[in-house]
Amino acid sequence: MKKKIKTALISVSDKKNLKPLLNILSKNKIKIISSGGTYKEIIRLNFKCLEVSKFTNFPEILEGRVKTLHPKIHAGILNKRLEKSHFKDLKDNNFENIDLVIVNFYPFESTIKKTKNHKKIIENIDIGGPTMVRSAAKNYNDVTVITSSEQYEELIEELTKFKGSTSLNFREKLSRIAFTETAYYDSVISDYFNKKSNTIFPKKKVFYGKLIEQLRYGENPHQQSAIYSSSLNANLKQIHGKQLSYNNYNDIFSALTISRSLPKGKGTVIVKHANPCGVSAKNNNLESYKSALSCDPVSAFGGIVSCNFKIKRNLALELKKLFLEVIIANGFNSDALKILKTKKNLRIVDGTNYTSEKLHKFVSFNQSIMIQSEDLNLFLKKNFKIVSKRKPTSKQLKDLIFAFNVCRYVKSNAIVLASNETTIGIGSGQPSRLDSCQIAINKMKKFNLQNDNLVAASDAFFPFVDGIEKLVQSGVKAVVQPSGSVRDKEIINFANETDTVLLFSKTRHFRH
């Protein structure tokens, strides 16, 4: 069902690309109503326009807070054209139809990113715009609604094709988009107020995000998938390679979370299936990569490397030797990029702007969503208590904290063996903590990494002595674990009997 457009109301914050739109409206002799800055811009572009205040015969008041909130505006939009009682109401009040509403909102989202001035933020909450959009979207049977300058071209095509009219399918599609736009806008405002009042778990929770891209498929080819973000690009920039997949993104976020927990500007993380298979925080960037790789070079094949620094030529030459799905870094110099781009399918990602501060993690199950704050607190010496008779050396303490930090990002049950701020054995994702110990030890032995400076970390307490016993028998000299077991005293006694350093963490760090 085609609907002829005779009157349009335009009120936009984003005033770009108006001229082609105004040309088509003028060509089809469509009356234009507008206000404020939009009115001035339309006049500047030499098009005829009627101010809203003259259309309603009522002035803008409250410093512009009230201008389009008027019965003549909303009756003109909301009336059902074929409903006799509606027609009578309009005639009795000397109102007229408004057939096209072109509105985009005050830039609330960009405002909260630019300023913390609450008064300025409040004034950038649009009231009239979303109200008109909702009215037009509800009455899509008779009214066309445009909410973005990106839709102008499609509107121009529609008006050209149907000689100043729009089709029902077109109006219905734009109505769906419009309600999504108002819902998104309100959700950003809701989130702002929740954050301002430090309300983490409100009675009703609204989520918002913009589509970054529709992915080729999900975890498996038969699953559909897309990635959304509350920022414009998830703060990641893909420079080269195949399109990122669901599994790529999952691994990327896992790798970056670990990278950002390491000292600023140093450290290499290698991830496979969302689990670290090698981590090193050595100062020399090339050595940190080689050390991380040596922890498990077999698992690293087809994995993801995240460098917490800028990649240069010498490291790029090493990275090129191994088949990798993704390389992430805080930038790449030109020589490094040239080398890495010789691998056609290698996904190269700049994570310079990625941040993991004050984030929440979401896990969904059918129609339910669990939310928790991320496990991001940096570990300090005061977070640990020495419970053994033997005290750790400064080097051991440094390695223990490093190992425990990595351990919290390994799927539970998790055991990490480390030396010289480098992982040398990782056991992950086992129902039995004892099995995780054995896997970590086996990895260490398989790649000949055993040495005299071994430390071990466990993401939760050892429920029995057998776990720590297995580690000590393999050459571990110092262990860190959370306290909380009814057998903590037995574990402490065993450490003292074997002259092993034992630290208790004050917090547990499961990652399921």
Which domain CATH number covers 46?
A: 3.40.50.1380
pLDDT in the model for residue 370: 86
- Please indicate, yes or no, whether residues 320 and 436 belong to a single structural domain of this protein: no
Q: What is the mean pLDDT of residues 202-222?
A: 90
Which residues sit opposite 418 in a β-bridge? 423, 455
Mean pLDDT on 482-497: 92
Residue the block writes with tokens 């970054």: 212
Could you count the other beta carbons within 10 Å of the beta carbon of residue 258? 23
* Residue 217 falls inside a structural domain: no
Token pair recorded at residue 403: 């190992």
Average pLDDT, the chain: 92
371 in a structural domain: yes
30: nearest Cα among 158, 182, 175: 158
- Using the predicted structure, report yes or no on whether residue 134 has a pLDDT greater than 90: yes
Same domain, 154 and 26: yes
What pLDDT score was predicted for residue 142? Answer: 95
Nearest to 461 by CA among 438, 493, 486: 486
Residue 216 falls inside a structural domain: no
**266, 139: one domain:** no
Q: Provide the pLDDT confidence category of residue 358 given band limits of 50, 70 and 90.
A: low
- The dihedral sign for the CA sequence 33, 35, 37, 39: positive
- Vertex 174, ends 105 and 154: CA angle to 5°? 95
Residue 118 has pLDDT above 90, yes or no: yes
Looking at the fold, whether 334 and 395 belong to one and the same domain comes out as no
Catalytic annotation present for 512: no
Q: Is residue 207 part of a domain?
A: no
The predicted model scores a pTM of 0.85
Q: Percent helix, strand and coil across the chain, each rounded to 5?
A: 40, 20, 40
Query: How do residues 359-381 score in pLDDT, each as one tens digit?
Result: 778 888 888 888 888 888 889 88
Is 271 within 8 Å of 306 (Cβ atoms)?
Answer: yes
User: In 3D, which of 314, 316, 278 has the Cα closest to residue 298?
Assistant: 278
Average pLDDT, integer, range 493-499? 95
Full strand arrangement of the beta sheet holding 384-386:
237-240, 347-350, 324-329, 303-307, 268-272, 275-280, 422-427, 415-419, 455-458, 478-482, 501-505, 384-386
Quote the CA–CA distance of 427 and 458 in Å, as a whole number: 10
Distance (Å, whole) CA 486 – CA 397:
25
pLDDT at 233: 60
Q: What is the mean pLDDT of residues 49-59?
A: 89
- Cα gap 387→490, rounded to integer Å: 12
Q: Rounded to 5 degrees, what angle do the CA atoms 347, 277, 212 make?
A: 35
pLDDT band at 234 (very low <50, low <70, confident <90, very high): low
Q: How far is residue 92's CA from residue 73's CA, in Å, rounded to a whole number?
A: 15
Active site residue 138: yes
Report how far Cα 300 is from the mean position of its chain's Cα atoms.
26
Averaged pLDDT for residues 58-82: 87
Q: How many domains, the chain?
A: 3
Highest mean pLDDT among 44-58, 198-212, 288-302: 288-302
Looking at residue 357, what is its pLDDT? 66
In-domain check, residue 146: yes
Residue 331 shares a structural domain with residue 409: no
By percentage, how much of the chain surpasses pLDDT 90?
74
Lowest mean pLDDT of 58-72, 95-109, 294-308, 341-355, name the range.
Answer: 58-72
Q: Which of 40, 86, 242, 273 is catalytic?
A: 273
Q: Is residue 308 domain-shared with residue 437, that is, in the same domain?
A: no
User: What is the Cα–Cα distance from 9 to 34, expressed in whole angstroms?
Assistant: 6
**Does residue 468 register a pLDDT over 60?**
yes
Assigned domain for 201 exists: no
Domain range for 496 is 381-505
d(CA 457, CA 452): 16
Q: 162 and 191 share a domain? A: yes
Instruction: Give the CATH number of the domain where residue 269 resides.
Output: 3.40.140.20
Same domain for 192 and 147, yes or no, is yes
Domain end (from 359, 376, 393): 376
Considering the domain architecture, whether residues 298 and 370 belong to the same structural domain is answered as yes
pLDDT, position 224: 93
Q: Is 225 inside any structural domain? A: no
Q: Do 337 and 307 belong to one domain? A: yes
**Is pLDDT above 60 for 232?**
no
Phi, psi of 350 (to 5 degrees): -90, 115
Domain presence at residue 106: yes
Which whole number is the average pLDDT over 432-454?
Answer: 93
**What is the pLDDT, as a whole number, of residue 360?**
79
Q: Please give the distance of CA 244 from its chain centroid, rounded to a whole number.
A: 15
372 shares a domain with 259:
yes
Residue-level pLDDT at 506: 86
CA dist 31 and 36 (Å) reads 17
> Rounded distance, CA 387 to CA 95, Å?
82
Are 263 and 337 in a shared domain? yes
Residue 436 has what pLDDT?
A: 94
* Alpha-helical regions (H) of 271-414: 285-295, 297-300, 313-319, 334-340, 394-407
pLDDT range class, residue 324, cuts 50, 70, 90? very high
State the Cα–Cα distance between residues 63 and 36, nearest whole angstrom.
Answer: 11
318, 353, 376 - which closes a domain: 376
Among 334, 355, 376, which residue terminates a domain? Answer: 376
List 6, 70, 138, 341, catalytic entry: 138
